[in-house]
Structure 1
């Protein structure tokens, strides 16, 4: 049984009661309670302490069911779930760092202009001082010049 995609439902929204979640995951509600106690799938709770499951929780329950059917023990499943969560977190952090690095690289890009016999670095988004200056389009020469400037600054 597959859950049809619902365009307006947040996958993380805790909306399903234990009975509905058990039916969607094709499990007994007592199994879901056991998984909650073990920390395999811990649903959100309402103010009255009633369990509410999300689509993400149901997907995890199905994943656990598949591992169990393959002969993996509950302790093994718990470790697999923990490692998968850790990998998801690390991948998310890696994407964040890659984004930060890309932004930093954009900020550090320099534009080089030549005029009156010298090459000068100008900040991105700034204009050259005189109309007679020419912007260098040779990225290798610009990179060499930037490396020399960085060495001079140190």
Structure 2
């Protein structure tokens, strides 16, 4: 994958688009120039999970729309099949999870080190005072 292409996959889209259900399948279909049956197939495959109204109408959020755009990019621009899209999404999710875990661990260790520094400064103060 060329540098510009990977930038489009990872950087072009907002990290956390709104998850409020807003758009019907017809609206999303027109917005993205994609057949409604394709959207239904993406849902069947678990690639996108729109909310449902009490009447069972699909409602897509901005996050769903962005995810569909990523699917389109991967399939049309990069030639990835839908099984590959699923693998890529799974890997991206695992990477995000690992990044969260690493941030949490770094925060925990930082707090431990700060406490140790405070403890050592108190000890040093006692030694200096005699």
Q: Same fold (TM over 0.5)?
A: yes
Q: Which residue number corresponds to residue 89 of structure 2? A: 81
Determine if the alignment matches structure 1 residue 16 to structure 2 residue 54. Answer: no
State the secondary structure of the residue aligned to 2:49.
coil
Question: What are the Cα deviations for residues 82-120 of structure 1, in whole angstroms up to 9, with x where unaligned?
Answer: 1112212221222222222222322333223445xxx28
Partners of 2:59 and 2:26 lie apart in 1 by 10
Structure 2 unaligned spans of 5+: 1-16
> 1:62, CA displacement in angstroms?
0.7
Q: Which has the higher helix share?
A: 2
Identify the match of residue 63 of structure 1 among 67, 70, 88: 70
Two-structure CA RMSD over aligned residues (Å)? 2.3
Higher relative contact order (CA 8 A, sep 6+): 2
Aligned residues: 110
Aligned twin of 1:41: 48
Structure 1 residue runs without a partner (length 5+)? 1-9, 121-132, 135-154
Q: Pick from 100, 113, 117 the counterpart of residue 105 of structure 1.
A: 113
TM-score by length of 2: 0.70
User: Which structure has the larger Rg?
Assistant: 1
